[in-house]
């Protein structure tokens, strides 16, 4: 895809979306950032306010008319808007259903009726559910363990159907445990790594659910951005209507990650070395182990993670040290 295209990023003021907006603008594109600010933040995109190639649209993907208007004239849609978090979906399944499924259908319809606009959308590793297989491979899904996982699995089914029934050029990306700068460490639904970092910075014990030996394929946000752009640019005929794992292809026990974060943060603040770890009850809906096979994404999309876990933490941790206490 050539420079100076018009790209709509839904959820563009969010954690991943704002990084994606940064990359697209740096590449010379015109960016429409669509967000209702339910979980996104104005400060994530404030540095683009004077950029003539950037436009912020405060609107909700549950509103079909707003979505159609935003998609009109776009060359591609990169869809990240969603209500994330497994615990959030268990607490309020209807909210997750409305944002993640109805909202996604609005995006599909808008792309279909505005000239079959290229759509790259975020799915989730949660669709692998109770599958015990490692690594996780596309086509070997288990049963979903949370309402959030159900919505993402249904998104994939709708995307496949829209491609095969309406020839919509759509590509899905299953993100595995994305972390990095701008990820909010506060609140009941905060992700693990930023929450651990903040508690260490405040000399508070991070809480680990269960025994801490559950493993994750933690994926730095730069890899997620790289994959979205690869999907936007891909012309491989086997890419459309399919979904691809996006991860590093390595897994780490949660307890090992917590200990490594403590060691790294203690270099600047030796008192952190004395902060203990608190074990709490396991969370319902959590997958025990997660490890991605990314060979399909590498072969079809040309995606290969540019950052491993440690390289990602080397970029993310200083940001939290600067912005949070």
Give the DSSP per-residue string, 177-237: SEE-TT----STT--HHHHHHHHHHTT-PPEEETTS--EE--EEHHHHHHHHHHHHH---T
Q: Does 281 fall in a domain?
A: no
The pLDDT, as a whole number, for residue 141 is 94
The pLDDT, as a whole number, for residue 86 is 85
Q: Is residue 150 part of a domain?
A: yes
Tokens representing 313 are 């933490």
Q: What is the pLDDT of residue 249?
A: 92
Determine, yes or no, domain membership for 133: yes
Please, what are the averages of pLDDT over each run of 10 residues along the chain (325 residues)?
83 97 97 96 96 98 98 98 89 94 98 97 94 93 94 97 98 95 80 90 90 91 97 96 96 91 90 92 80 96 94 91 79
pTM above threshold 0.85: yes
- For residue 141, tell me if it sits in a domain: yes
User: What does DSSP say about strands 252-253 and 215-216: parallel, antiparallel, or unpaired?
Assistant: antiparallel
In a domain, 129, yes or no: yes
Count of domains observed in the chain: 1
Q: For residue 150, what are the domain limits?
A: 6-178+220-249+290-306
What SS3 state is found at 240?
Answer: coil
pLDDT at 1: 45
Which CATH number do you get for residue 62? 3.40.50.720
- Short-list 97, 231, 252, CA closest to 169: 231
Tell me the catalytic residues.
Answer: 148
pLDDT of residue 188: 65
Distances, alpha carbon 295 to alpha carbons 45, 171, 244, 249, 285, in Å: 33, 16, 9, 9, 27
pLDDT value at residue 136: 94
């Amino acid at each position: 895809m050539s420079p100076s295209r018009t790209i709509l990023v839904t959820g563009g003021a969010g954690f991943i979306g704002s990084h994606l907006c940064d990359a697209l603008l740096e590449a010379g594109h015109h960016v429409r950032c669509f967000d209702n600010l339910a979980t996104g933040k104005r400060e994530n995109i404030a540095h683009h306010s004077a950029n003539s190639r950037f436009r912020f649209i405060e609107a909700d993907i549950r509103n079909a008319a707003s979505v159609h208007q935003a998609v009109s004239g776009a060359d591609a849609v990169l869809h990240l808007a969603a209500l994330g978090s497994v615990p959030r979906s268990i607490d309020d399944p209807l909210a997750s259903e409305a944002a993640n499924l109805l909202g996604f259908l609005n995006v599909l319809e808008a792309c279909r009726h505005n000239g079959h606009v290229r759509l790259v959308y975020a799915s989730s590793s949660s669709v692998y559910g109770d599958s015990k297989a490692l690594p996780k491979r596309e086509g070997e899904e288990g049963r979903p363990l949370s309402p959030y996982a159900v919505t993402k699995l249904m998104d994939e089914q709708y995307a496949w159907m829209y491609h095969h029934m309406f020839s919509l050029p759509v590509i899905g990306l299953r993100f595995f445990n994305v972390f990095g700068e701008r990820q909010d460490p506060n609140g009941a639904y905060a992700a693990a790594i930023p929450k651990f970092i903040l508690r260490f910075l405040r000399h508070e014990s991070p809480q680990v659910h269960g025994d801490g030996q559950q493993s994750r394929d933690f994926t730095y946000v730069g890899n997620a951005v790289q994959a979205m752009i690869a999907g936007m640019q891909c012309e491989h005929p086997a890419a459309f209507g399919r979904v691809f794992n996006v991860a590093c292809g390595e897994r780490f026990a949660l307890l090992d990650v917590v200990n490594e974060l403590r060691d790294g943060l203690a270099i600047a603040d030796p008192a952190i070395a004395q902060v203990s770890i608190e074990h709490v009850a396991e969370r319902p809906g959590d997958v025990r182990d997660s490890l991605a096979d990314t060979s399909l994404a590498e072969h079809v999309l040309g995606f290969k993670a540019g950052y491993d876990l440690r390289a990602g933490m080397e970029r993310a941790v200083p940001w939290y040290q600067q912005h949070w206490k």
